[in-house]
């Protein structure tokens, strides 16, 4: 499974997602510009001592990721989607693509991949969930569907 963060802004969220990737074996893809330095103490602290377990890749554009993994299933997480994240079938090497904390994914990207957009249900008054919580929710659903807990301790 691949978790793609498009222009993440908060180091703690990215650190928490890195820790999620380390614990689940997911690959982490970071699309620049990042809203922090990869040397940021909050990023390091959130990831704790798991960074050596994370397979991290950096890109200058989300389209680089999409081109590199053009044959992989893609799921764009957005509050603007109509389909729930539980209503789709994830594949083993799916791309789970998340936008930046303050603005989400770019509208152009959402429109180009409208059929791939999914959302996490929440009450109407809530704007969105925390990025690292959203990544964890969807990653574990994708792994559950793949029965891919085999290499994880239960």
Sequence ranges of the binding site for S-adenosyl-L-methionine: 77, 99, 120, 128
Annotated binding site: 77, 99, 120, 128
Give residues with Cβ within 8 angstroms of 54, minimum separation 6. 18, 21, 22, 28, 47
What is residue 84's DSSP assignment? B
Provide DSSP, 130-144: -HHHHHHHHHHHHHH
**Cα(153)–Cα(91) distance, integer angstroms:** 21
């Amino acid at each position: 499974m691949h978790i793609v963060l498009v222009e993440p802004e908060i180091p703690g969220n990215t650190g928490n997602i890195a820790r999620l990737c380390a614990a689940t074996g997911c690959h982490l893809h970071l699309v620049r510009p990042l809203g922090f330095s990869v040397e940021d103490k909050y990023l390091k602290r959130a990831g704790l001592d798991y960074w050596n377990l994370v397979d991290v890749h950096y890109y200058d554009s989300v389209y680089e990721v999409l081109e590199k993994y053009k044959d992989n299933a893609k799921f764009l997480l957005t509050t603007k989607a109509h389909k729930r994240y539980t209503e789709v079938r994830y594949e083993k090497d799916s791309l789970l693509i998340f936008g930046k904390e303050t603005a989400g994914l770019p509208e152009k990207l959402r429109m180009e991949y409208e059929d791939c957009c999914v959302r996490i249900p929440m009450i109407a008054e809530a704007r969105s969930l925390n990025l690292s919580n959203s990544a964890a929710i969807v990653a574990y659903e994708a792994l559950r569907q793949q029965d891919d807990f085999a290499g994880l301790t239960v």
